Chain A
Amino acid sequence: NAGVTQTPKFRVLKTGQSMTLLCAQDMNHEYMYWYRQDPGMGLRLIHYSVGEGTTAKGEVPDGYNVSRLKKQNFLLGLESAAPSQTSVYFCASSWQGGQPQHFGDGTRLSIL
């Protein structure tokens, strides 16, 4: 039982490049989330999903897109990376809203 798995763990991109971060959970959770964590700012919600085939914008969605084609996977895409997107990205899942969230190990992303 791996819980929430994120790939990759580290990545360095040049401005304008694109990439996709993958999150997979094996707990059959309905809700999945993408957060970014920046120093002194806590966790901010980028996008979330309340079930397979659904996605919605969170607090800071600009510059990101997501997809949830399968219940266990939640993908975060950066179409044209910008230095302001340098951050640590965490994926999380929960059974429902208002339930304990389980986090992945994070992806440390640097945009040069």
Chain B
Amino acid sequence: GENVEQHPSTLSVQEGDSAVIKCTYSDSASNYFPWYKQELGKRPQLIIDIRSNVGEKKDQRIAVTLNKTAKHFSLHITETQPEDSAVYFCAASSGTYKYIFGTGTRLKVLA
């Protein structure tokens, strides 16, 4: 069945450094790729998303890139801050009800 693999499962970076989280999807019909941030005990919140007709999207310190040929998409966070510490989830959707989520990356930003 369809799945999304997410790596790494944990990531520690020094404050000010960059962080990169990678996801690979299996369903070639996927055309919508959101990223969610979930702080401890809180709800997942959408931070950025990208559609298959776009290769890259930026929003201030965060960016997402998509390689449809390789079925890869990545989240890039620059100039990391302690408040970026959270669990990040990627997902892939083919435009139906189905969103396949990755298993999450726990990001720790060390001050």
Contact = CB atoms under 8 A, between A and B. Distances in A.
Given A90-B43, A103-B43, A105-B42, A41 B103 contact: yes
Contacts of B45: 103
Contacts, number: 50
Nearest to A101: B99
Contacts of B43: 90, 103-106
Q: Looking at chain B, what size class is its interface with the partner chain?
A: 20 to 34
Interface residues of A, number: 22
Interface string B89-110: 1000111111101111000000
A97 B93 contact: yes
A8 B30 CA distance: 34
Interface of A: 31, 33, 40-45, 48, 50, 56, 90, 97-106
Given A98-B95, A103-B45, 13 more contacts: A31-B97, A33-B97, A33-B99, A40-B103, A48-B97, A90-B43, A97-B93, A98-B93, A101-B34, A101-B99, A103-B36, A105-B42, A105-B43
